[in-house]
């Protein structure tokens, strides 16, 4: 995408051409063309700045799109053994693994398949020093890092602020001692959530004087994720300049781990109207569950955008909820352009990140199918459908 394009409107226009009846319901439909556009932007930032850009698997981890993504990015960022295995086995390139609390047996496996292993605290790193030494003696290649807390908060939501008061993520820079840095190859910090360049610039200005001396003996600095680099209003030139300054001034490689930016505005979640009732307000029961399929609607919370919705103040508003028995399984109130009938299809926009990876089978609600569509060619592939076994296997 080029600057100035409203990517939300562009996404709505693309998916308005998609026949929702072509896939089972519910179903996530990911547009490979938009994923590639996003990755092209990230690759350009990498080329101009010298940064290494990874996909954060915690936000999106669909192997069917790995060939598209890894044509442009340098690797994956994992948050534990299973994501590290997925990155190594189903994606490609570098694997950087951070975990807030490694287990010894899992760490042994992580060290075998990761290029970077990042500890959350000096205590854990010291406790597992013997395991790291064993891995290196056996020819292991993983470099070791420490996650720091810059003690500079830019979070817009305290729930998602890794640098907020009492955060369990990263070691506060004021607590780090010289002995904690011995043998480290790099530092990691992740402080942003769905944010532009300016919060990163302010964070770096606050933390650079505190860690500049530490970087002199290290190979890399990982600036984590939360960067909305593919949004048209993101200051990509500013990011390029900052990365170049860090590399030139401190002699370290710089890593970025965007998640949402890789798949921003690239997918819809298709659903079906199962019933229409009324209780003070018009109600629709759908086969999309906020609880099971879009948990951030409840946890964040946020209101997803309905494909083809009328502007505020127009049309009849209808309250949409899922099929589960949970009273709070409510997605929100929406204004369909055409009044719904039972059996009608509809879709919510921008559902690639954090929806697909967070789905669950509470109450036996089926998981949505997964499909890949290419808006350039209209090619469609239903990658996976789920059934009873996917529910039962989790319960023993």
On whether the 267-395 domain is CATH 2.30.40.10, my answer is no
Three-class SS state of 85: helix
The tens digit of pLDDT for each residue in 155-178 reads 878 888 999 999 999 999 999 999
Q: Which is nearest to 141 in space by CA: 252, 219, 254?
A: 219
pLDDT confidence of residue 4: 56
Model pLDDT for residues 19-74, shown as the tens digit of each residue: 999 999 999 999 999 999 999 999 999 999 999 999 999 999 999 999 999 999 99
Contact 189, 224 (CB under 8 A): yes
Beta bridge pairs of residue 27: 270, 369
pLDDT value at residue 2: 39
Pairing of strands 318-321, 116-119: unpaired
What is the Cβ-side half-sphere exposure of residue 60, based on CA atoms within 13 angstroms?
26
Main-chain phi, psi angles of 72, to 5 degrees? -120, -30
C-beta separation of 33 from 375 below 8 A: yes
Q: Calculate what percentage of the chain has a pLDDT beyond 90.
A: 95
Hey, which residues does 345 pair with through a beta bridge?
Answer: 272
**5 CB contacts (<8 Å, ≥6 apart)?**
232
Backbone angles phi, psi at 231, to 5 degrees: -70, 140
Q: CB of 61 within 8 A of CB of 353?
A: no
Query: Which own/partner contact pairs does 104-107 have at CB distance under 8 Å and 24+ positions apart?
Result: 104/128, 104/131, 106/80, 106/81, 107/131
First CA to last CA across the chain, in angstroms? Answer: 46
- Ranges in the chain annotated CATH 2.40.37.10: 267-395
Closest CA to 213 of 240, 239, 187: 187
- What is the per-residue pLDDT for 157? 82
Query: What's the whole-number mean pLDDT along residues 123-141?
Result: 96
User: In 3D, which of 41, 46, 81, 76 has the Cα closest to residue 59?
Assistant: 76
| Interhelix angle 236-250/197-215, nearest 10 degrees | 0
Pairing of strands 282-286, 253-256: unpaired
Band of pLDDT at residue 1, cut at 50, 70 and 90: very low
C-alpha 142/C-alpha 56 separation (Å) is: 18
Rounded Cα gap, residues 222 and 243, in angstroms: 11
Tell me the pLDDT of the chain averaged across its residues: 96
Cα separation, 127 vs 111, in Å, equals: 15
Strand bridging mode 220-222 / 253-256: parallel
Q: What residues contact residue 381 under an 8 Å CB cut-off, 6+ apart?
A: 64, 371, 372, 373
Task: Report residue 168 CA to chain centroid gap.
Answer: 20
Closest CA to 88 of 100, 101, 78, 102: 78
The whole-model pTM stands at 0.96
Question: To the nearest whole percent, how much of the chain has pLDDT over 70?
Answer: 99
Q: What confidence score (pLDDT) does residue 158 get?
A: 84
pLDDT in tens, 86-112: 999 999 999 999 999 999 999 999 999
CB 290 within 8 A of CB 321: yes
**CB-CB contact of 54 with 257 (8 Å):** yes
**Do 25 and 272 contact (CB within 8 A), yes or no?**
yes
Instruction: Tell me the pLDDT tens digit for each residue of 286-342.
Output: 999 999 999 999 999 999 999 999 999 999 999 999 999 999 999 999 999 999 999
Q: Which pLDDT does position 156 carry in this prediction?
A: 79
CA dist 293 to 19, 33, 105, 180, Å? Answer: 21, 24, 32, 42
Rounded CA gap, 280 and 337, in Å?
Answer: 21
| Parts of the chain belonging to CATH 3.20.20.10 | 32-263
Question: CA 76 to CA 341: how far, in whole Å?
Answer: 43
Rounded Cα gap, residues 340 and 292, in angstroms: 23
pLDDT in tens, 259-287: 999 999 999 999 999 999 999 999 999 99
Q: For domain 32-263, is the CATH number 3.20.20.210?
A: no
């Amino acid at each position: 995408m080029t600057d100035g394009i409203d990517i939300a409107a562009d996404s709505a226009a693309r998916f308005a051409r998609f026949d929702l009846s072509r896939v089972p319901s519910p179903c996530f439909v990911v547009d490979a063309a938009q994923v590639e556009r996003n990755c092209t932007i990230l690759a350009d930032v990498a080329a101009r700045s010298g940064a290494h850009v990874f996909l954060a698997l915690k936000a999106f981890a669909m192997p069917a799109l790995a060939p598209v993504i890894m044509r442009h990015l340098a690797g994956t960022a994992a948050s534990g053994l299973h994501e590290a295995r997925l990155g190594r086995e189903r994606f490609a390139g570098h694997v950087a693994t951070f975990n807030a609390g490694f287990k010894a047996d899992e760490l042994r496996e992580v060290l075998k398949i990761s290029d970077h292993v990042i500890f959350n605290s000096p205590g854990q790193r010291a406790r597992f020093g013997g395991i790291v030494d064993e891995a290196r003696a056996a020819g292991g290649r993983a470099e070791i890092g420490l996650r720091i807390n810059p003690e500079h908060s830019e979070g817009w939501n305290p729930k998602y602020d890794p640098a907020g008061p009492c955060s369990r993520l990263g070691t506060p820079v004021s607590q780090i001692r010289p002995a904690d840095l011995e043998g480290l190859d790099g530092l990691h910090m992740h402080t942003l959530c769905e944010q532009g360049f300016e919060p990163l610039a302010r964070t770096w200005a606050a933390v650079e004087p505190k860690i500049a001396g530490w970087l002199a003996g290290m190979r890399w600095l990982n600036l984590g994720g939360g960067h909305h680099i593919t949004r048209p209003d993101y200051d990509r030139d500013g990011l390029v300049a900052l990365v170049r300054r860090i590399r030139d001034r401190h002699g370290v490689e710089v890593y970025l781990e965007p998640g949402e930016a890789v798949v921003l505005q690239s997918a819809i979640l298709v659903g079906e109207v199962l019933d229409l009732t009324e209780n003070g307000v018009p109600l629709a029961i759908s086969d999309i569950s906020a609880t099971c399929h879009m948990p951030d609607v409840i946890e964040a919370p946020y209101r997803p955008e309905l494909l083809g919705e009328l502007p505020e103040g127009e049309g009849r508003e209808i309250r949409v909820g899922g099929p589960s028995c949970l009273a709070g399984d409510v997605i929100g109130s929406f204004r369909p352009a055409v009044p719904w009938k039972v059996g009608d299809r509809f879709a919510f926009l921008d559902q690639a990140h954090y929806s697909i990876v967070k789905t669950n089978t509470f109450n036996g609600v089926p998981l949505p199918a997964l499909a890949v569509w290419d808006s350039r060619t209209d090619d469609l592939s239903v990658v996976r459908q789920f059934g009873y076994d996917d529910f039962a296997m989790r319960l023993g």
